[in-house]
Each structure stands twice: as C-alpha cells, then as structure tokens.
A and B are shown apart, each in its own frame.
Chain A
Amino acid sequence: MRTYRQGRPPLSRWWLVLNLLWPVGLFACTSQDLVLKGWWISTDITHPSPFFSETLTDDKSKSITLSFDEAGGFEWRDRKEVCHVGVYLVQDHTLVLTDPHGETIILGYTFEEDQLRLKSPDGFIFDFRKVPPQADAAGANPCNQ
C-alpha cells in the first residue's frame, strides 16, 4: 500500500490540480488579449505633475489612436499624427510594448467594460475607449488609414 507523508498532498493530486488550472490560466491570458485586440481612441491624457498641465490641456480635441492585432503587433498614432509601431505582450497586469529599436515600455493597464487605462512609467495616464475599426479596408490600421 502506498503511503504519503502526513499533511502533504500526494504528487498525483498536485498533478490533477495543475491539469485543472492551466486551461484557466491560458484562458485568462487569451481573454485579455482578446479584450485588448482592436481599436482604441484616447479620451483623456493626464499627469499628476503641473509641469505638463499646459501641454495636456493644449490640443485637447486631438486624440491618440491605438490598435492591437492578433499577431501581437500594435500601432500608436499620437496627437501629432506620428506613428509608433511594435509588438506587445500582456503579462499579468502589465502591457509590454517594444518598438523596432528595441526600446521597451512596461505599462500598467486596467480594463473596465470598453474602457482601457494605460499608465506609463513616467507618470502619464492614458484613458481609451474601444471603437470599431476606423476603416473597412482589410489590414487597415491607425498608421495607414
């Protein structure tokens, strides 16, 4: 008869728990990617420092367009129509963006329905709302729409 050290679950139970949990973890990661995928328009940009107060109130009507695709790519068109492209990765509660030069930004992010909030390491907070793709053409993105 097999015996187990008292107080510790047998290895087979750990194996069972692991087998039950990995699809949950995979679903969590995949579902976050699915929520993120698509087009986003900025609704507000803020920074706690008064250093940026004038900058951020200027051109308030102009917004940032952001898109995430299924292949792990992102496009960010800023308020001056300058485009930044690269790849993204969702890790726990952070979004890792890397540009073609290898510069990486780790952003904090939160979702609430169709709202996305990104927190840049230098203090900027970007609020976005999800929007339908802005062009019908296949492969359209913020940088070539």
Chain B
Amino acid sequence: MGAEEEELKSKIRRLVKERFDGDFRKGFDHYGKIDEEDAKIGSSALEQLLTDAKVGNFLTRALWVEGVLKVLDKDKDGAISWDEFESILEDGPQIKDETGKEPEDDIPSRDK
C-alpha cells in the first residue's frame, strides 16, 4: 500500500472513530445520504468526507476524489457502496494520534 493510500485510510478511520464512535456503518450511512445515490457515497459526498477527514485541501480535493474513486470504486459506477467502503477496514494501519502514538482502544469490528 502506498503512503498516500495509507494516510488516506488512516485519516478516514480517525474521522469515523471521532465522529461516529468508530462505527463505520454509521459513518457510511451519514455520507451515503448526501448524494441520495441509493445509499452510496457519490463524488460530492466523498468530497465532504475527505474535507471532514482533512484529506487534501480546497485546491486538490477534487483530485483526491478522483484518486479515491479509482481505488475504491471497484464496479466503476461512480459511487462507493458499503462493500467498497468496508475495504478501508482491511489491512488498514492503526490510527495514530497527533503524537504518533497508537490509541489503546482498537478499531471496532466491521460487524457493528
């Protein structure tokens, strides 16, 4: 996994932990409602998610959206389904806090 992909997943996992109590399904449902694309995360919802996760900046976020869709959108429908979003949990790095230390509590199970 490249550094960018690793950083991306780490930031998304941190966002889910901080805003959605680590519940990936809750996070997915929140962003899935933005684009109203049949409970999928479309490009504008993804841009909001990346903004909230502090990925990129206002000039580069659209490029990040394109890059993320190329990696996660396996069926190439232009949106991220739950199954595709769930892959962020797979082989992901541990969330590190600002000091670089890993938190004591682990990422909750995807079964939530």
Contacts and interface: CB of A to CB of B under 8 A. Distances in A.
Interface residues of B, number: 17
Interface in B45-80: 55-60, 62-64, 66-67, 70-71
Given A51-B67, A58-B66, A120 B2 contact: no
Summarize A's interface: helix, strand, loop or mixed: loop
A54 interface: yes
Contact-size category for A: 20 to 34
Contacts, number: 51
Interface string A16-28: 0000000000000
Given A54-B70, A80-B62, A82-B62, 19 more contacts: A45-B63, A50-B2, A51-B2, A51-B4, A54-B67, A55-B63, A55-B66, A55-B70, A76-B59, A78-B59, A78-B62, A79-B62, A101-B58, A103-B57, A103-B58, A105-B58, A120-B60, A121-B57, A124-B59
